[in-house]
């Protein structure tokens, strides 16, 4: 009979990232690569080449291999704290469009040789885009005009052109894109995921999610795999919460960046999505919960956010680098490193 691994005895709350932990991120990386490819090559954006979305999708593996330099760029920017695949696409697109880098390999080399972390990367990209496009720097920063263009292009690929128009009530820039929404696969065998979640919940653990996906994006695998029932009410914190909070603070004249590696999304899950954003940012919450909470993630942004929050971190090696990430997490002093969430239970 399955039971919780002994090291979990000290934790009451377990906060899961989704991609690379429960869901595979392969589909998202494909979409991010297609986004960069389209932005740089299609005539309805910044390119001059004829663009056929169906043909691009047919060649997505080759496109991704080129755009992300054999996935090395994905690994690199994740280690620098870049969390969202919207941000991944934005960074690569910016360095290429502005001529800072002439090839995708140079993007990897440049970031490798720099010491820039996530928010510094975004700021440099905004400056370069501003100079290249003759736009105010504000229009090129995260959550603004050019970044939003990258995000919307990504979402067109995820939903498909027709569903994008219905969901966002706006015309897609590229009609005829097929939907990639149903290409979701689990990070490990679905039966193993279900057993882990059921065992943890039956053992009295309170399970939560803090993800870089939007509400809509996270609901799809939860519905397909019937896993929503394992998580606490008001404990599914998504990128939609980040966007809403950043927008609301901006309208109040307060510019805040809340994406990982900031701990906001984990705090939002732990203290429930109904808890006041003002109180979260002010540190006005019951800090005794932090020692009882464990964050489970696959990337540097998850680890950095957990550490800033004051929680222990469990790294799983089901992300882009697999077992090769072990040394990274050892160097960053993750409390636990496991091959997958499967090892959170024993028999």
Query: Which helix (H) or strand (E) segment is 208 a member of?
Result: strand 206-210
Confidence of residue 182 (pLDDT cuts 50, 70, 90): confident
Closest CA to 16 of 302, 232, 209, 301: 209
Q: Rounded to whole angstroms, how far apart are CA atoms 305 and 302?
A: 5
Confidence of residue 284 (pLDDT cuts 50, 70, 90): very high
Tell me the two tokens of residue 53.
């979305």
Say if CB 317 and CB 339 are below 8 A apart.
Answer: yes
**What pLDDT, on a 0 to 100 scale, did the predictor assign at position 29?**
96
CA angle 205, 210, 215 (to 5 degrees): 120
Domain map (residue ranges) of the chain: 3-24+185-346, 26-182
Q: Rounded to whole angstroms, how far apart are CA atoms 43 and 254?
A: 37
List Cβ<8 Å contacts ≥24 apart for 266-271. 266/15, 266/210, 266/237, 266/295, 266/305, 266/306, 266/309, 266/311, 267/309, 268/210, 268/237, 268/241, 269/15, 269/208, 269/209, 269/210, 269/235, 269/236, 269/237, 270/13, 270/15, 270/208, 270/235
Say if CB 269 and CB 13 are below 8 A apart.
Answer: no
Q: Is a pLDDT exceeding 90 seen at residue 249?
A: yes
Cis peptide preceding 238, ω within 30 of 0: no
254, exposed or middle or buried, with CB in 10 Å at 0-12, 13-18, 19+? exposed
The pTM for the full model equals 0.88
Look at residue 180 and give its three-state secondary structure.
coil
Secondary structure of the chain: what % helix, strand, coil (to 5)?
Answer: 55, 10, 35
Angle between helices 104-113 and 85-97 (to 10 degrees): 100
User: May I ask the CATH architecture of the domain 3-24+185-346?
Assistant: 3-Layer(aba) Sandwich (3.40)
Confidence of residue 320 (pLDDT cuts 50, 70, 90): confident
pLDDT digits (tens, 9 = 90+) for 87-131: 999 999 999 999 999 999 999 999 999 999 999 999 999 999 999
pLDDT digits (tens, 9 = 90+) for 225-238: 999 999 999 999 99
Say if CB 321 and CB 329 are below 8 A apart.
Answer: no
pLDDT digits (tens, 9 = 90+) for 121-171: 999 999 999 999 999 999 999 989 999 999 999 999 999 999 999 988 999
For β-strands 3-4 and 345-346, DSSP reports them as antiparallel
């Amino acid at each position: 009979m399955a039971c919780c691994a002994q090291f979990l005895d000290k934790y009451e709350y377990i906060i899961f990232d989704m991609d690379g932990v429960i869901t595979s991120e392969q589909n998202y990386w494909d979409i991010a690569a297609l986004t960069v490819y389209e932005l740089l090559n299609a005539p309805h954006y910044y390119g001059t080449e004829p663009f056929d979305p169906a043909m691009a999708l047919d060649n997505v593996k080759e496109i991704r291999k080129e755009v992300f330099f054999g996935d090395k760029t994905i690994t690199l920017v994740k280690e620098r704290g870049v969390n969202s695949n919207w941000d991944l696409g934005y960074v690569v697109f910016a360095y290429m469009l502005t001529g800072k880098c002439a090839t995708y390999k140079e993007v990897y080399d440049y970031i490798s040789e720099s010491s820039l972390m996530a928010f510094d990367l975004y700021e440099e990209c905004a400056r370069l885009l501003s100079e290249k496009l003759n736009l105010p720097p504000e229009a090129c920063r995260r959550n603004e005009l050019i970044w939003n263009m990258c995000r919307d292009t990504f979402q067109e690929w995820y939903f498909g052109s027709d569903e994008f128009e219905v969901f966002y009530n706006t015309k897609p820039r590229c009609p005829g894109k097929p939907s990639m929404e149903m290409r979701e696969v689990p990070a490990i065998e679905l039966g193993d995921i279900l057993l882990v979640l059921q065992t943890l919940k039956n053992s009295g653990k309170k399970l939560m999610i803090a993800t870089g996906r939007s509400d809509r994006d996270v609901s799809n695998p939860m519905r397909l795999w019937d896993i929503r029932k394992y998580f606490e009410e008001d404990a599914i914190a998504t990128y939609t919460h980040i966007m809403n909070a950043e927008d609301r603070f901006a309208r109040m004249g307060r510019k805040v960046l809340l994406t990982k590696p900031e701990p906001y999304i984990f705090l939002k899950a732990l203290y429930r999505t109904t808890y006041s954003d003002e109180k979260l940012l002010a540190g006005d919450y019951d800090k005794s919960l932090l020692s009882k909470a464990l964050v489970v993630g696959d990337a540097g942004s998850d680890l950095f956010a957990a550490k800033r929050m004051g929680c222990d971190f469990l790294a799983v090696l089901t992300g882009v680098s697999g077992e090769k990430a072990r040394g990274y997490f050892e160097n960053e002093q993750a409390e636990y490193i496991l091959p997958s969430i499967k090892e959170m239970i024993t028999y």
